[in-house]
Every structure is written in structure tokens, then in C-alpha cells.
Amino acid sequence: MGIVNVTPDSFYDGGRYRETDKAVERALTLIEEGADLIDIGGESSRPGSQPVSEAEELKRVIPVIERLAGQVKVPISCDTCKSRVAEAALAAGASIINDISGFRFDPRMPEVVVKAGAGAIVMHMLGTPANMQHSPFYHDVVAEIKAFLKEMMESLVAAGLPQERIVLDPGIGFGKRLQDNLTILKHAGEFAVAGRPVLIGASRKSFIGAILDLPVEKRLEGSLAAAVLALAAGARLFRVHDVRATKAALKVAWAIIQ
């Protein structure tokens, strides 16, 4: 899953692809590098970030999705917590909603996804982006996240979404300490509730910087290590900034695993 952030303030590429033309160009580049799907987001969820208005998020993502939907064959995901943005994104050509709130923030979101026959990525987050890193704590991080993902998946199924359209994401960096992120990666396969695939989004995140003492621009090798070991632990989808390098590393790792 290649990341395209149409934002001024995302933690790694904020501002680079804020214009529609640049965002579309970036998405096409990621597809050329081997991305199997593209995730378009118009609201930063970095720690401490504040929400943007619905109108602003729509203005950022819908033109990009419309342009891409007309020229690419890979699925398009929209990273949003707002049902009206999701509705517009699905109408514009997206087929997956990636909700970092785990479908908690907007009660209309399940209805929108079900009605459109879309896929859903359910992610775990402790709190909100604005406060999620304010002293997060778990007694058993794997068990607690797994229970949350199971509960939210069951609520989507009860709302009418077929289970086979759901992907589960334990939410690396979203209300997690360094040790929590490492434990999640080590036990990635355990989040595959009911056999649903696990998505990992560890690319260039701050826990890698904390281990290596490196800024975000120099975290590629650490990101590749996290992806490879998460694959070995059972993860099957990876949300990344660096598609070509990650795909090559995962291809070799998969050959060894197989």
C-alpha cells in the first residue's frame, strides 16, 4: 500500500504532494514501483495533530481520487474518519475506507461502507491523534488490541459488511510506547482475528528514529527491517512510503519464508 498524503503537515512527506497534480504524479510513481493499492489521505494523524474541517479534507482528496480512478487499475483507499468524506471518496472511485479510529468516531461510517460495497481497514488507536501519545499504557498490549479489533470487526459485520472485506491494523505509533510497537511487530500475526489479514504501518515512524537516533529522512533501513520481521510474524499488508525498496525486501523475505 503506497502512501499519498495530500496534506501540509504529515510527519514525513507533508507539503510535498499538497497540489492535486503532484499527488497524482506521486501515486502513479508508487504504482510503477510496484504498489498493489494506493492510500490517499487529506488529514494528518501524526501525534499532536489537530483535525481539519470536512470541507478542507474533501477539497484535498476528492480531486486526486477522481483523477486516479480514471487512469489506474489498482484499488484506491481513502484514509478518513469522516463519513461524508468516505461517501464522496467512494463515489469518486475509491473502493476501501481506511479509518484510523477503527470506525469509532463517526457512527455513519459503517453504513456508508456497507452501502457502497467497499472494503474496510479497521485500525486501533488509543485516544485521538491530538492526545494519543500522552502517557499511553497497556497491561497486555497484544491482548487489548486484539480484543478491540475483534469487537470493531464484529460490529461492522453486524452492520452488514461481509467479514471478507475487512483488514485489521494494530496501529503502530497510534497511542503506543516504543516497547508496545516492538511487541506488536513481533506478534503481528496474532492480530489476524478470524483469519483476516493484518496490515502494518511502521514506515519511517518515530519508534524507528528512537532506536537508531536518526531523523525521519534516514529511517529507510529501519523501516525495511520492521516490514520484513512483521511479514515473518504473520503480517500480510504494508502501508509504506518507499514502495520499491520495501517490495524488494519483502519479496526476498517471502521466498525464504516459503
- C-alpha–C-alpha distance, residues 166 and 168, integer Å: 7
- C-alpha–C-alpha distance, residues 113 and 95, integer Å: 9
Catalytic residue (one of 205, 219, 247, 251): 205
Is residue 46 among the annotated active site residues? no
Residue pair 100/81 in contact by the 8 Å Cβ criterion: yes
Catalytic residue (one of 165, 196, 219, 239): 239
Is residue 205 among the annotated active site residues? yes
Q: How many CB atoms lie within 10 A of CB 167?
A: 21
Helix (H, G, I), strand (E, B) or coil at 137: coil
Closest CA to 207 of 225, 233, 181: 181
**3-state SS, one letter per residue, for 8-56:** CCCCCCCCCCCCHHHHHHHHHHHHHCCCCCEEEECCCCCCCCCCCCHHH
For the annotated catalytic residues, the residue numbers are 205, 239
